Structure 1
Amino acid sequence: MSLAPIKIATLGQLTGPQDWRLSQVHDRPEHLIIWITRGQGRMLLNGTRRGVGTHNAISIPPRTLFSLELGRQGAGMVALIPDGSDIRLPEGPRQLRIRDVAAITDMTALFEAAHREVTTPRPLTQDALDGHTALISVWLRRQIAMPDHLPLPMNAAARLSAAFCDRVAHHHALGLTMADHAEALNVTPTHLTRVCKAATGRTAADLLTERVLYAARIGLIESDGAIQDVARHLGFGSAAYFTRFMQQHTGMTPSAVRQNGRL
C-alpha cells in the first residue's frame, strides 16, 4: 500500500476553527515537525508539560501523546510525514529552543520554500515537498546532535508519566480504565494520579478522558458511520453511555458534535 503524501501546512490550517485539534491531548498517525514562528504557550510532550515559544522546533513521532496551546497570537508551520517514510527522522519526541540566528534563518527559509510549493502548484510539487522535508529533517537532526540540545535525564516520576502517556496513545480505544493502566504499570492508581498531575497538570484519568474525547470527536466529524459504531470502536458498552459521556464533556449530544464540527 502506498504511503500518504507529505504535507506542509500552517498550524492554523492544521486546526481550522477547531482549536481542540491541537490543544486537546491526542496523538497522530504521522510524524510531525513543528516550527513555531510567533507566540508562546504550553505543550504536553513525552509525559511532561513545558513552555513553548518562538523559534522552538518540535519533533513528534507517530502515536506520541501531545497537546499544544499557543493562543490567538501564536503561529507556526508543520510538516506531516507519513509513518514509514524513507526520510530519516528523530526516533523520540524532542523540543529544541533555537537561539542561533543563522539556524533560525535556515529553518524558516526551508519551511517557507516548502509552503510555496503548496500554495503555488507546479509540476513535480510532491517531489519538491519530499526534498524540502528531507532538508528540514537534516536541519533538525543536526541541531539535536549539538551539545546544547542534549536531552535532560528523566527521573522515575517522569518516566512513569511518559509510560502512561504512551499506553494512552496506543490503548485508549480498548475501554480500559485509569486503574487498569496503573495495574499494567505496577503502580497504584493514587500514585499514578499524583505523578501525572505533577508532570502534566492533568490527572491520569483526565489524560485518558481527553484522548478518548478527541477520538470521539474525530470519529463523529470525519466519518459518516453510525454513532453506535463510533461508541463501540472506543470501547463504550452502549450508545447511551457514549451519549452521556459526550454531553458531560462537550455539552452536546454526539449528533450535535457531528453537525457542529462540520459547519
Structure 2
Amino acid sequence: MSLPPVEIKPLSQLTLGQDWRIALAHDRPQHAVIWVTRGQGRLLLNGTRRGVGTHNALTIPPHTLFSLDLGRQGVGMAALIPDGTEVRLPLGPRQLRIRDVDAIGELTGIFEAAHRETTQGKALAQDAIDAQMSLLSVWLRRQIALPENLPTAMNAAARLSARFCERVARGHASGLSMAEHAAELGVTATHLTRACKAATGRTAADLLTERILYAARTALVETTVPVQDIARHLGFGSAAYFTRFMQQHTGQTPTALRKAAR
C-alpha cells in the first residue's frame, strides 16, 4: 500500500486559525518537523515544558505527545512526513536551537524549495519534495551530531512525565482515568501529578484532558461521525457525559462546535 504524500505547509495552515490545533497536547500519525522562523513561546515535548523561539527546529516522531504555543506573532513551516517513509528521521523527539548562519540558511532553503513544489503544480512535484526531505534528513542528522546539540539528562520527574505522555498519546481513548494510568506506571496518582506538574507545568489530569479534548474537537470539525459515536470511541459512558465535558472545557456543546466549524 502506498504512503500518503509529504505535506509542507506554513504553521498558519497547520492551525487553520484555531490555536487549539497545536496548543493542546496532542500527537500526530506522521513525523513532524517544524522550523520556527519568528516568535517565541512554550513547547511541550518529551514530557517536559521548555521555551521555544526563532530558529528552533523541532523533530517530533509519530504518536509523540506535544503542544506548541507561539502566539499570533509566531511564523514557521512544518513538514508532515508519513510514518514508514524511506527518509531517515530521528527516532526520538528533539529541539534544536540553531545559531549557525549557514545552517539556518540551509534549512530555510530546504523548506522554501519544498513548499514551492507544493504550490506550483509542476510535473514530478512529489519526487522533488521527496528529494528535499532527503536533504532535510541529512541536515537534521548533521545538526544532532554536533556537541552543542547533545540532549541534556532528564531528572526523575521528567522521566516519569515522559512515560505518562507516551501512555496518553497511545491510550487517551481507553477510558482509563489518570489514577488508573498512574497505577499502570507503578506510582500513586499524587506522585504522578507532582511529577507532571514539575516537568510540564500541567498536572497529569490536565495532559490527559487536553489529549481527549483535541481528539474530540478534531472528530467534531473534520468528520460527520455522530456525537454519541465520538463519545463512545473516546471512552465516555454516555453522550450526556461527553456533552458536559465539552461544555466545561470549551463553553459549547459538541453540536454547537460542529455547526460553528461548517
TM-score (norm 2): 0.99
How many angstroms apart in 2 are the aligned matches of 1:85 and 1:233?
29
- Indicate the residue corresponding to 1:4 in structure 2: 4
User: 1:52-107: per-residue Cα shift (whole Å, max 9, x none)?
Assistant: 00000000000000000001111000100001111100000000000001100111
Segments of 4+ in structure 1 off by > 6 A? none
User: 1:121-151: per-residue Cα shift (whole Å, max 9, x none)?
Assistant: 1000111111111111110111001111010
How many angstroms apart in 1 are the aligned matches of 2:208 and 2:260?
24
How many angstroms apart in 1 are the aligned matches of 2:26 and 2:214?
6
SS at match of 1:205: helix
How many angstroms apart in 2 are the aligned matches of 1:161 and 1:94?
16
How many angstroms apart in 1 are the aligned matches of 2:72 and 2:245?
29
- Indicate the residue corresponding to 1:107 in structure 2: 107
Q: What letter corresponds to residue 117 of structure 1 in structure 2?
A: E
- Indicate the residue corresponding to 2:118 in structure 1: 118
- Indicate the residue corresponding to 1:67 in structure 2: 67
SS at match of 2:173: helix
- Indicate the residue corresponding to 1:85 in structure 2: 85
SS at match of 1:88: coil
Deviation at 1:261, TM superposition (A): 2.5
Moved more, 36-45 or 112-121: 112-121
Percent of aligned pairs with the same amino acid: 70
- Indicate the residue corresponding to 2:40 in structure 1: 40
How many angstroms apart in 2 are the aligned matches of 1:71 and 1:247?
24
- Indicate the residue corresponding to 1:28 in structure 2: 28
Q: What letter corresponds to residue 24 of structure 1 in structure 2?
A: L
How many angstroms apart in 2 are the aligned matches of 1:51 and 1:153?
17
- Indicate the residue corresponding to 1:170 in structure 2: 170
How many angstroms apart in 1 are the aligned matches of 2:6 and 2:90?
16
Q: What letter corresponds to residue 45 of structure 1 in structure 2?
A: L
SS at match of 1:153: coil
What is the correspondence of 1:1-263 to structure 2 with a 5 Å cutoff?
1-262=1-262
How many angstroms apart in 2 are the aligned matches of 1:152 and 1:146?
13
TM-score (norm 1): 0.98
How many angstroms apart in 2 are the aligned matches of 1:53 and 1:71?
11
Q: What letter corresponds to residue 67 of structure 1 in structure 2?
A: S
User: 1:17-46: per-residue Cα shift (whole Å, max 9, x none)?
Assistant: 111101111000000000001011100000
Number of residues of Structure 1 aligned to a counterpart in Structure 2: 262
Deviation at 1:162, TM superposition (A): 0.2
5+ long unaligned stretches in structure 1: none
5+ long unaligned stretches in structure 2: none
Deviation at 1:155, TM superposition (A): 1.7
User: 1:234-259: per-residue Cα shift (whole Å, max 9, x none)?
Assistant: 01111111111111111111101111
